[in-house]
């Protein structure tokens, strides 16, 4: 028996595992929530490497409204996210199939070391997160999950044995201090209202971003070790952070396009802002390329990042002034 939840991966750009899976559900239910994904509710944030707390790198935190969930657009899609626990390790497969058969939107805690071939963590290091399930084929002994690898954010087949191993080694099972659940279930509102992109909200966030960018400092970040093994790990972490920044500017391009299509901004302002944003996006793409190729020079990259923060601040300031 094969069952599919028929959720389409939201893969226009990458935010983080929880947001991309939430938008995969939301946009599959109500396509207008694509605009909600573009909304500029993010901030820059200094992050610590999962396996080396002394290495810090800049990235983007998209869950800016979680201290005020009512303002977060997906609150119009999800009534609440319900934590859950399996009855036992022996009943995991049976319980997952039962929840999927019941139409529940299920996300399970797994260890990425044994999860998806082609991912950054596969057989390299232990890294824990929640993965969205999209169905199963009981006769073939596989589950369908929506998750990311280095090739992108897509649906993948996971055999039962690999699922049991990745769940068995999940943070939920190996860390006695972990407070999270074995899985989450996204519970939707009975009727999901369409999302409307509002100029006032974009402008409000643009004002905030301009203020925050004026204060954000990259000092102390990207301190890549010269020892070959550590250097490669640090470059990989730095790349993860820069990749999320690059993806956010893909979203900003879509935000501008959607604002123009909805006549929230005029053609002249759209063209001007597109040029400014293009320079910011090209700059971060260059930084990303240097991390990918290993052509990384810390002083040069820090100086370029500072310049890009200034340019992005000017971009949001111009949007506020012209809107």
pLDDT tens digit sequence for 228-243: 888 988 998 999 899 9
Q: Per-residue confidence at 41, pLDDT binned at 50, 70, 90?
A: very high
Q: 313: how many CB neighbours lie within 10 A of its CB?
A: 19
Token match 């399970």: residue?
108
Q: Per-residue confidence at 131, pLDDT binned at 50, 70, 90?
A: very high
Phi/psi for 32 (5° steps) reads -65, -15
Q: Which pLDDT score is estimated for 62?
A: 81
Angstrom CA distances, 251 to 57, 159, 223, 281, stand at 21, 34, 28, 11
* Residue 55, both tokens: 């290495």
The burial of 205, by beta-carbon neighbours within 10 Å (0-12 exposed, 13-18 middle, 19 or more buried), is given as buried
131 within 8 A of 145, measured Cβ to Cβ = yes
**pTM, 2 dp:** 0.90
169 within 8 A of 114, measured Cβ to Cβ = yes
Q: Per-residue confidence at 308, pLDDT binned at 50, 70, 90?
A: very high
């Amino acid at each position: 028996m094969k069952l599919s939840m028929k959720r389409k991966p939201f893969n226009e750009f990458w935010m983080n595992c929880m947001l991309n899976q939430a938008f995969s559900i939301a946009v599959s239910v109500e396509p207008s929530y694509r605009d909600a994904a573009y909304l500029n509710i993010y901030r820059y944030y200094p992050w610590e490497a999962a396996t080396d707390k002394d290495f810090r790198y800049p990235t983007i935190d998209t869950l800016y409204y979680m201290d005020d969930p009512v303002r977060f657009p997906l609150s119009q899609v999800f009534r609440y996210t319900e934590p859950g626990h399996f009855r036992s390790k022996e009943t995991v497969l049976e319980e997952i199939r039962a929840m999927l058969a019941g139409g529940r939107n299920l996300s399970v805690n797994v260890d990425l070391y044994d999860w998806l071939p082609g991912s950054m963590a596969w057989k390299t290091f232990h890294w824990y997160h929640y993965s969205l399930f999209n169905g199963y084929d009981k006769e073939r002994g596989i589950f369908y999950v929506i998750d990311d690898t280095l090739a992108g954010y897509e649906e993948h087949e996971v055999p039962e044995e690999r699922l049991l191993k990745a769940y068995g080694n999940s943070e939920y099972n190996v860390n006695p201090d972990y407070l999270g659940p074995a899985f989450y279930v996204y519970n939707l509102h009975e009727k999901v209202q369409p999302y409307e992109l509002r100029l006032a909200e974009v402008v409000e966030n643009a004002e905030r971003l301009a203020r925050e960018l004026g204060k954000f400092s990259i000092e102390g970040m990207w301190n890549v070790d010269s020892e070959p093994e550590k250097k490669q790990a640090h470059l990989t972490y730095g790349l993860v952070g820069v990749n999320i920044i690059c993806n956010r500017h893909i979203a900003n391009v879509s935000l501008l396009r959607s604002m123009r299509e909805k006549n929230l901004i005029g053609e002249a302002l759209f063209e001007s802002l597109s040029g400014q944003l293009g320079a910011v996006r090209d700059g971060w793409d260059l930084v990303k390329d240097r991390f990918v190729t290993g052509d990384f020079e810390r002083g040069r990259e820090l100086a370029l990042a500072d310049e890009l923060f200034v340019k992005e601040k000017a971009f949001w300031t111009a949007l506020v002034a012209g809107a």
